[in-house]
Structure 1
Amino acid sequence: MSDNDHDVNIIETATNAEALRVLEFWFGSSAAGEETLPERKIWWRPDAEFDAACRKGFADLSDRALAGEFDHWAETASGALALVLLLDQLPRNIHRGRPEAYAGDDKARTVAGGAIARGFDAVLAPVQRLFLYLPLEHSETLADQERAVRLIAVLGNDTWLDFARRHRDIIARFGRFPHRNAALGRATTAEETVFLQEPGSSF
């Protein structure tokens, strides 16, 4: 399928009702026709009310996505983006501070990688492309981190690029994200303990 088979208005052209609901919840329906969707502060900071809305509206869908029920969504740009949100981003809100927050990460990377290989990212608005790339930024593998930095650099947003580089640098230093240790039941090293006391050590 070529890029010409897709419209840049990826939300309005989504034909899957459940995928559309995910996209409208995350990005907002009012800006569905814009190539430059607005960035939402709620994405980047813990908020109990927003987390509750994610749980109420999407916990079941997220579980079903992890079980493979929506694998066919990956055949379209809009579906792949919605699937990545259900596997990678929404679980971080639904299961904040618990190991389940990261249960979909591997599958999300697979979906994102397939979408990128097919050029689906090229038809997305910049902030949507960011969320398609975030499974790479969330990876504890350095090669994924390096790829995330390269992809996000193209988006032309210095803040996003700075965060991508900071994620990469943590993985280069520790081989994992120390701030996940408590949720995942991992022992924290002395060096990691010192690091976790520094500003910006957690995301």
Structure 2
Amino acid sequence: MSVIKDRQEWDDVLDFWFPEADSLDVDAQIHRVHWLWRMQGGADDQIEAQFSDLTERAAQGALDHWTLAPHGRLALIILLDQFSRSVWRDSARAYAQDPYALSLVNEGFSNGHYSALPTPWFQIVYALPLGHCEGPDHLQRIDLLIDLREAIAATAPIALQPIYSSLVNQAHDVRKIIATFGRHPHRNKILNRKSTAAEETYIAKGQFPHTRAFR
């Protein structure tokens, strides 16, 4: 007899953000499409329509009890790190939750929640704040991100390994930007920061690592 899992309050977030669910038997092309959808802003309208209120609650700390479970912690990280960028796109608030999300990531490394996640796509999304959150330890965190992605790529199903290897490459590209500028220059205008001449040249090219994934 099959066991029916009790539905949790964070399952709507996970079901939406991971159409693959938690089965490793995923078609590589479909999986690639899912990644492009997640990483290229294709879900913005749906996120705003379905999850604006929940994202607001997450930002206010009203969902901290989700962190008691690995999947709940992952869902809260998604709200803070991903859905915030859709709900508050082109405003400073899109990035305001980054330190909060990073703290959840670090705590989950310590308490075993990260290692309890069953799929490579769960683990990749979980660790995104390592590269997103600006700060004095940014390079060290990206080095950790690279290590994690290399481990994920090495253990992912063979058909999916090219996708995860490309995400390793992307993390290296992000590291180059942070090593050069110490921050994400493409955010400067939104955050009302003055760009250096070098940053203006970089921004004018529009070749940002987060927009070049899988291309």
**TM-score range with shorter-chain normalisation?**
0.7 to 0.9
Structure 2 CA distance for partners of 1:63 and 1:190, relative to 1, 3 Å: same
* Residue in 2 that maps onto 1:20: 11
Residue identity in the other structure for 2:37: I
Q: 1:178 to 1:14 in 2, by over 3 A?
A: farther
Equivalent-residue separation in structure 1 for 2:200 and 2:6 (angstroms): 45
Does 2:101 match 1:108?
Answer: yes
Unaligned runs of 5+ in 1: 1-11
The corresponding residue for 1:149 is: 146
Partner of 2:181: 174
CA distance in 1, matches of 2:41, 2:123: 22
* 1:1-203 equivalences in 2 (<5 Å): 15-17=7-9, 19-28=10-19, 31-35=20-24, 38-39=31-32, 40=34, 41-47=36-42, 50-124=43-117, 125-140=119-134, 141-156=138-153, 157-201=164-208, 203=210
Q: How far is 1:53 from its partner?
A: 1.0
Question: Which SS does the other structure have where 2:152 is aligned?
Answer: coil
TM-score by length of 1: 0.85
Letter in 2 for 1:99: A
**When the two structures are superposed, what TM-score results if normalisation uses the length of structure 2?**
0.81
Identity of aligned residues (%): 31
Segments of structure 2 that go 5 or more residues without pairing to the other structure are 154-163, 211-215
Q: Is the 8 A contact 1:109 1:136 kept in 2?
A: yes
Q: Which moved more, 1:35-44 or 1:152-161?
A: 35-44
Aligned residues: 187
Q: Quote the offset at 1:92 in angstroms.
A: 1.2
- Structure 1 residues 175 and 36: CA distance shift in structure 2, 3 A: farther
Mapped partners of 2:6, 2:122: distance in 1: 14
Q: CA RMSD in A?
A: 1.8
Change over 3 Å in CA distance of 1:188–1:33 after alignment to 2: closer
